[in-house]
Amino acid sequence: MKEARRVISYATVSLVIYCVVSAMMYVQTNVSLASAEVWEHLGIALVLFLAMAIISSLDMRISVYVTIFVMLIFTLALLGAFIEVNYHSNTGMVVKTIVDALSLVGLIINIICVTAAVKMRARQSNFRIRRK
């Protein structure tokens, strides 16, 4: 259970970073944060996170794969934001720095989260092997 809490905490931080970076990217393109497009996007991220958190808290064997899938989606979005801001955007230096810093921190958190999920899976496998 200790590993599941660790995975869920890292994933929560990753979700917050993902939502902040996504909101900043929408603001850059002059899309209102109250628009349906933004809420659908953030809603899908929240549903994926909740599914991953529930499966991890139930200590199911598939939790590592769901965690990797969700973290992969968050990682690709953060990499996309990093590339978009640095190479295809005319935004100010402050916004670029904030998005870059958040993206890099988010990528590191995602790697740590996946590592914690793999450790949780290893513990599950070791426990089942010892029990037999």
Q: How many CA atoms lie within 13 A of 80 on its CB side?
A: 12
More confident residue, 113 or 123: 113
- In order, the DSSP letters of 11-57 are HHHHHHHHHHHHHHHHHHTT--TTSHHHHHHHHHHHHHHHHHHHHHH
Query: What is the predicted pLDDT for the residue at 121?
Result: 82
One-letter amino acid at 2 equals K
36: tokens are 């349906």
Over residues 40-66, the mean pLDDT reads 91
Q: Which three-class secondary structure state does DSSP give residue 61?
A: coil
**Residues 62, 55 contacting (CB under 8 angstroms):** yes
Q: What is the mean pLDDT of residues 74-80?
A: 94
Over range 89-106, report the average pLDDT.
90
Domain ranges within the chain, ordered by starting residue: 2-131
Confidence of residue 87 (pLDDT cuts 50, 70, 90): confident
Query: Is residue 25 over pLDDT 80?
Result: yes
The Cα–Cα gap between 60 and 74 comes to 22
Mean pLDDT computed over 36-64 = 91
